[in-house]
Structure 1
Amino acid sequence: MANKGNIPGGLTETRMADDETKKICNKVVQDAQVKTARNYVNFEAIAYRSQVVAGINYFIKVNVGGSDYIHLVVFEQLPCHGGEYILQGVQQGKTLDDPIEDFLTN
């Protein structure tokens, strides 16, 4: 059976957050605060998956303090379209053990 992360449009395996993922979170933290009506003191990327589309979707697990987590979907536009990061969705009430999934299409 083929790994969906290896086919176009499939999600990669879950990876530990790296400097790029942390940079993406820093760019969308204010948008996440607006969407959730919360002010986060802690906003630390923990893990992520990505999906190549007409740009890149990042599905990111973020620790927002203690044992509280949220999941983000952030779209990175292609450079020819501005290369901006756009917060597409937020799931609240997550735990460290919750899998990172595409919650926009499920």
Structure 2
Amino acid sequence: MSMCGGIGEVKDANDEVHKICEQMKPHVEEKTGKTYEVFKAKSFKSQVVAGTNYFIKVHVGGDDHVHLRVFQALPCHGREAKLNDVQESKSEHDPILYF
């Protein structure tokens, strides 16, 4: 568990992160202007704030990856997930950093 405000350690993508990733795919495609046949969460870091920021490494085909920053609101605010930013042209070996 990460401390409030700090970014946690890298973890393998779990069911919750896969679900968030699926929800974000159309938003990422709109933001990047690309269509992804492959879009699979591989790993993530999280940051507890007034909700949770997820920094997710997503495999998008071949050797290509993107990093997503997604904010998920607290349950009292509906737990809605929102794409905040995307970093393109990432590799499997690029570390997930705060952005």
Question: Same-fold call, TM > 0.5?
Answer: yes
Q: Does structure 1 residue 81 correspond to structure 2 residue 77?
A: yes
SS of the residue 2:29 aligns to: helix
Q: Does structure 1 residue 9 correspond to structure 2 residue 27?
A: no
Instruction: Kindly report the root-mean-square deviation, in angstroms, between the aligned alpha carbons of the 2 structures.
Output: 1.1
Runs of at least 5 residues in structure 1 that lack an aligned partner in the other structure = none
Matched to 2:51, the amino acid is G
Matched to 2:7, the amino acid is L
Q: Alignment identity in percent?
A: 48
1:65-92 CA-partner distances (Å, limit 9, x unpaired): 0100000000001111121000000000
Q: How does 1:89-104 map to 2 (within 5 A)?
A: 89-103=85-99
Contact persistence 2:56–2:69 (CA under 8 A): yes
Residue of structure 1 equivalent to 2:37 = 41
Q: Does structure 1 residue 69 correspond to structure 2 residue 94?
A: no
C-alpha separation in 2, matches of 1:12 and 1:100: 11
Matched to 1:28, the amino acid is M
Matched to 1:91, the amino acid is Q
Runs of at least 5 residues in structure 2 that lack an aligned partner in the other structure = none
C-alpha separation in 2, matches of 1:84 and 1:7: 22
SS of the residue 2:35 aligns to: coil
Residue of structure 2 equivalent to 1:59 = 55
Task: Report the structure number with the largest CA radius of gyration.
Answer: 1
Tell me the number of residue pairs that the alignment of Structure 1 and Structure 2 aligns. Answer: 99
Please state how far the C-alpha of 1:64 moved relative to its aligned partner.
0.3
Please state how far the C-alpha of 1:6 moved relative to its aligned partner.
4.5
